[in-house]
Amino acid sequence: MDSDATSDSLTPDSLASDLSESEDWAGKATATVVGYVDTVRGATTGKALVASRAAVYFLAAGLIGIMLAILGLIMMVRFLVALTNLLPFLSDGEVWLAYLIMGTLFIFLGWSSWRKKDI
């Protein structure tokens, strides 16, 4: 009877099921290792990636903001020059009044900012 029991356990069907179980075990082990690697990667490099992306976006936004501010100032000076050229007591090409207006504006903004710094 013992020989029948051992011969039954070594049938081709039982060997195939043992082989499929071992392949399933290998797949489970691989999935477990990949899961742990993804968890560690997410915990270590995930935050660094988010921080570096934020730094790049803020830097790009800052540079674009500076560029737009400079272009806005240039457009404001050009507008004031065109507007002051319409005055009868200024000849074409004289920009001193536009510069005087811009300087007065910046002095007033700086003075008001300086007063608010202690508040």
Q: What is the pLDDT of residue 20?
A: 57
Distance of CA 57 to the CA centre of its chain: 4
CA angle, corner 106, sides to 101 and 109, nearest 5? 125
Quote the domain boundaries for residue 16.
Answer: 2-116
Give tens-digit pLDDT for 52-89.
999 999 999 999 999 999 999 999 999 999 999 888 88
Rounded Cα–Cα distance for residues 83 and 73 (Å): 15
pLDDT-derived band of residue 1, with 50, 70 and 90 as boundaries? very low
Whether 98 and 81 have beta carbons less than 8 Å apart is answered as yes
Domain count, the chain: 1
Predicted confidence at residue 52, as pLDDT, reads 94
pLDDT number for residue 13: 61
pTM equals: 0.58
| Distance between CA atoms of residues 97 and 57, nearest Å | 40
